[in-house]
Amino acid sequence: MNNPESLLKTMNYRVNSASRAPAVLRLYAALIIIACCLGITLPASGQKLDIEKEKIIRSGRADGRHVSTRGFLQHLLRTSKPKLAFNPEFTSEEFEEWQLEVRAKMFELMNFPEPTPQPAPRKLWAKDRDGYVLEKWELYPEPGSVVPFLLLVPNGATTDKPAPAVMCFSGSSGTKENLAGEPPLHPSFKRDGGTDDGYTHSERNRQALQFVKAGLVAVAVDHPGNGELSDLAKYRRTTMDDRNTLARYLIDFGRDYISLSVFQKRKILAWLRKRPYVDADRVAISGHSLGTEPLLVMAVLDPNIQAIVWNDFLCPNIERTKVSTKPSASGIRPRANWLGHCVPGMWKWFDYPDLVAAFAPRPLILTEGGPEHSLDLVRKAYATAGAPNKVSVHHYPKFANPNARLDGKPIPEGLGNEGWYQYANVDVPKHYFKGYLAVPWLAEQFKLPAPKQIYPPAPPEARKTNTVR
């Protein structure tokens, strides 16, 4: 019931009716009202859910068809295969042709707006920092839009000696200020001990600061609806808008959250390559968590991106959806991610491991592992491209030992969220930017001197398990 007045009338009626009933019935009515207000789903009276029986979605019909719509979707997940999935049997020539097809289809799915002349980016200010200069710029990607970003330029980067560069994309709750190690723009954005990855690991997630200290020009930019690009988030003590609503409206316009994010970041990347102190032949992109999604699309669309830092586990989304079917006690199966993760039509053509395979033969580091068969797909693509040593795979310290990893082929259906993370070899509390892996790796790819110190250093569990290499 969406109308507040109607809901209030209904609640008043129930309360008045309950006031004439015995105390036990009044208490029961009150609990129902509270549950409705809080959105709690209660099993119907007299029904009992057998979770183990229902965790795998079965037809129950002789013809194998499903009455429930969720069952029909499960049928699609079980029987459909993306049309442009990577084929491990590709020859090197077929692999190159496939890459071109993937790039063309991804560009089509992005449905970018038609380019229109816009003002050039404008520098707002510059400040000296220890070993680098911090600048704030504004980009005007399309009519009605302003996207501020931060630029960190090491003191050694000059027109005579241009430096390599890296664009840095944060996790879901991160901001460009945190990427750059700068104070938050608003007191409510301050890291105050919250529980999400951006708050818990804010120091480790300062990608841009870590990279500029290693001698790279670094760019820090917000995701749509985050930080300075948010609307009323600061009044709710969060860095994020209701991005589900933003994503829904974008889809109604024939666009989507990821394509908007990519459109803005590609404009900044094009500008970055033209800076006289940037070596346009040594430009990388680095993403943590949510930041791997615009990174994924940008790396597929732009073969001139020379190196990719993927700081998340490699998730086969179609398989994850297929196996995540275990219901809660109230009969709710694992929910889909918020709409900002949706590119309409993507699953018809490819999944994330296919797209990461399309990066080959460019240097790639994956710092948080994933299901081993997904990683093997990427390894095979790099071998097909004649560059098996160009992909560097690391696991969470908890799963550094192969004997600690699960890799059912295929992963069994009937999992809840925790079961999925176990099979995907994911250590959720340790999900943060692995600078101790990524920074020296990228410095090596771009032939920079090995960093004397990476701060924060590798945590004890990483050193103990020999994850650092």
* CB-based contact 399:461 (threshold 8 Å): no
At 133, the amino acid letter reads: V
Report how far residue 366's alpha carbon sits from residue 352's, in angstroms, rounded to the nearest whole number. Answer: 13
Q: What tens digit of pLDDT does each residue of 177-196 get?
A: 999 999 999 888 875 444 33
pLDDT of 101 higher than 90: yes
Q: What tens digit of pLDDT does each residue of 108-147 get?
A: 999 999 999 999 999 999 999 999 999 999 999 999 999 9
* CB-based contact 206:178 (threshold 8 Å): yes
Report how far residue 253's alpha carbon sits from residue 263's, in angstroms, rounded to the nearest whole number. Answer: 15
Which burial class, exposed, middle or buried, applies to 36 when counting CB atoms under 10 A from its CB (0-12, 13-18, 19+)?
A: middle
Structure token pair of residue 427: 């250590």
Report the pLDDT value the prediction gives residue 20, as an integer from 0 to 100: 46
CA atoms within 13 A of residue 306's CA, in its CB half-sphere? 15
Report the pLDDT value the prediction gives residue 16, as an integer from 0 to 100: 45
pLDDT of 363 higher than 50: yes
Q: What tens digit of pLDDT does each residue of 218-266 get?
A: 999 999 999 999 999 989 889 999 999 999 999 999 999 999 999 999 9
Report how far residue 81's alpha carbon sits from residue 94's, in angstroms, rounded to the nearest whole number. Answer: 19
Number of H-type helices and E-type strands within the chain: 18, 9
Report how far residue 465's alpha carbon sits from residue 406's, in angstroms, rounded to the nearest whole number. Answer: 18
Report the pLDDT value the prediction gives residue 34, as an integer from 0 to 100: 56
Prediction pTM value: 0.88
Report how far residue 397's alpha carbon sits from residue 402's, in angstroms, rounded to the nearest whole number. Answer: 11
CA atoms within 13 A of residue 214's CA, in its CB half-sphere? 31
Closest CA to 246 of 237, 234, 265, 259: 259
Report the pLDDT value the prediction gives residue 463, as an integer from 0 to 100: 78
- CATH numbers and ranges of domains, the chain: 4-79 (no CATH), 100-464 (3.40.50.1820)
Closest CA to 468 of 442, 443, 445, 435: 435
pLDDT of 432 higher than 80: yes
In sequence order, which residues have a C-beta less than 8 Å from that of residue 411 and are 6 or more positions away? 319, 323, 371, 420, 423, 424
Report how far residue 468's alpha carbon sits from residue 245's, in angstroms, rounded to the nearest whole number. Answer: 40
How crowded is residue 24: how many other Cβ atoms within 10 Å of its Cβ? 8
Report how far residue 317's alpha carbon sits from residue 354's, in angstroms, rounded to the nearest whole number. Answer: 11
pLDDT band at 23 (very low <50, low <70, confident <90, very high): low
How crowded is residue 285: how many other Cβ atoms within 10 Å of its Cβ? 26
Q: What tens digit of pLDDT does each residue of 265-296 get?
A: 999 999 999 999 999 999 999 999 999 999 99
Report how far residue 424's alpha carbon sits from residue 370's, in angstroms, rounded to the nearest whole number. Answer: 5
Q: What average pLDDT does this structure show over 78-107?
A: 98
